[in-house]
A and B are shown apart, each in its own frame.
Chain A
Amino acid sequence: MSALLSVDGISKRFRGLVAVDRLAFDVPEGGIYAVIGPNGAGKTTLFNMIAGVYAPDGGAITFAGKRIDGLTPDRICRRGIGRTFQIVRPFPALTVEDNVIVGALLHRRHVRDARARAHEVLRKLDLYDKREQRASSLTLPERKRLEVARALATEPKLLLLDEVMAGLRPTETDRMVAILRTLNAETGLTILLIEHVMRAVMALASQILVLHHGAPIAQGRPADVVRDPAVIHSYLGAEEV
């Protein structure tokens, strides 16, 4: 498998704090790649650099063979990277359907076509029956799925998920895991997720990267990573997985 996303030695400093330190990894095309690590490990900073919120201070990010570091978030989305927000940001006064239509209009001129695409996506995310509700009336699990739906409607090659399981009950987590697995299996969508919920990470990821103080301390298959003494020491602690 070739790398769809290649992060090559990127760094980001906030004043004196080095949030991400010369980090490098490859996300293979068609894979589900998870980044885990304790709070303050630099996960969200990494995420924001890939999504274009910050430009890295050094290093390169290459997506589908082209440099994307330093591009604006909208350009990065148009290149084929969809994202969700850790704290969900649906368009509250719009209906569920209209939220997704906005995403679908990125590559479509006509609202009619975008609506058809939105319906398709809403069915996949179990939101079709709620399509006429205002986004603000949804429950948190539904809003999380709406975030995924809106990102998915832009037809990304890579989907960035920022703690999409956070705040979900175990049954909701399993539902989200099932949805993401199906998406990955059916469409070959590559997924990069930042996640705290180990239950979801273990069920989804084909590869895990563990960050600590902005640098990787382990990388590899989930089963190997969770047995790594360094990982247990800095992140998992005594927790049974």
Chain B
Amino acid sequence: MIARLTDGLSGRALALLALLFAAALVAPLFAGDYLLTVLILIFYFAYTGQAWNIMMGFCGQLSLGHALYVGLGAYTAAGLFVHYGIGPWLGLLVAAPLAGLAGAFVGYLAFRFRVGGVYFAILTIAVAEFARVGFDHLAWVNGSSGLFLPVKRYSGNDLWLLRGQPVMFYYILLAATVAALIGCRALLTSRIGYFWLAIREDEEAARAAGIDTFRYKMLAVVISAAMTSFAGVIYAFYYNNLFPEQVFHISRSIEIILGPFVGGVGTLFGPILGAAVLTGLAETLTSTLAAIGVDIPGAKQVFYGVCLLAVIVGAPEGIWPWLAQRLGLKGRGS
């Protein structure tokens, strides 16, 4: 199992990964409060980007509504905690299947009735929007007035109830990102991964090669959705407040896909690199602007736009394939 996971990775790639991981492990020792929150954001987007990438990067199904699965995860875990005192890890056991089910619903609608390409993407937006409007009126989660988790000043970190300081969330998201990376590599180098790539490349040819494309597309959506819901659970317990207007908003979905797009759709390290570059640079920009006393609302969004343009023009496959080549790393499953 371990052998298969590292199979095809050069010693150089492994060494670089180990170095990065070590740096990420000790980073909180040197990072101030602000830098830590930026790192948390980076790993949040690295993780969600990785999950989204399963659908689009591996299987070729463009989702522009991944906020749906974040929101379902967040609201399920927060609701269970607020109403019944059920901890987030147990809540995840409900949230993940629920998000998977929502993914299955979107997938079934689309794949059964041959809704593909752009129309599929629009369907994913539509379902997320339905959820946004629906949750606005759902009394169980206080509708549009928002759901709040009880907060007090925590001295220690309660990992079981996810009550504690930012550094705890940092390590949880770091662990999640590493697990997602390993999991995605295992998937990509497996039978399922080959079938996904075949579907992404040419669905009709994939079907002619005997692949039950409906089944494998469903699998991609369900896995991606369930994985994404975990980020939602963390989101809820990190921010402690949830508004449908924010959580399910389409801009949340777009934020999720920016990382993989910049880093490299369909690559394993692209989502992580993309999240680091985008979030890192955007936060640098924001804090620099604040430091020199300039206040430009929406500067971050404009910056995202500029980044996307630069990538589309300069490295359409993303910066990771470009960088990997320069680092002397190449090959499948990188």
Contact = CB atoms under 8 A, between A and B. Distances in A.
Interface stretch (B72-80, B129-137, B201-209): B201-209
Contact of A111 (B189, B206, B211, B213): B189
Interface in B161-208: 189-191, 194-195, 197-198, 201-202, 204-208
Q: How many interface residues does chain A have, given as a range?
A: 20 to 34
A198 interface: no
B83 interface: no
B212 interface: yes
A93 B197 CA distance: 9
Contacts, number: 74
A51 B205 CA distance: 12
A94 B102 CA distance: 31
A85 B198 CA distance: 15
A109 B191 contact: yes
Interface in B17-58: none
B156 interface: no
Interface residues of B, number: 20
Given A93-B197, A105-B191, A114-B194, 11 more contacts: A72-B207, A73-B207, A85-B208, A98-B332, A102-B195, A102-B198, A106-B210, A110-B191, A111-B189, A111-B190, A151-B209
A236 to B, nearest CB: 31
A154 B191 contact: no
A125 interface: no
Given A102-B194, A102-B198, A105-B191, A90 B205 contact: yes
A108 B194 CA distance: 12
B209 A106 contact: yes
A105 B204 contact: no
Contact of A154 (B197, B202, B210): B210
Contact of A89 (B202, B212, B213): B202
A78 B205 CA distance: 14
A49 interface: no
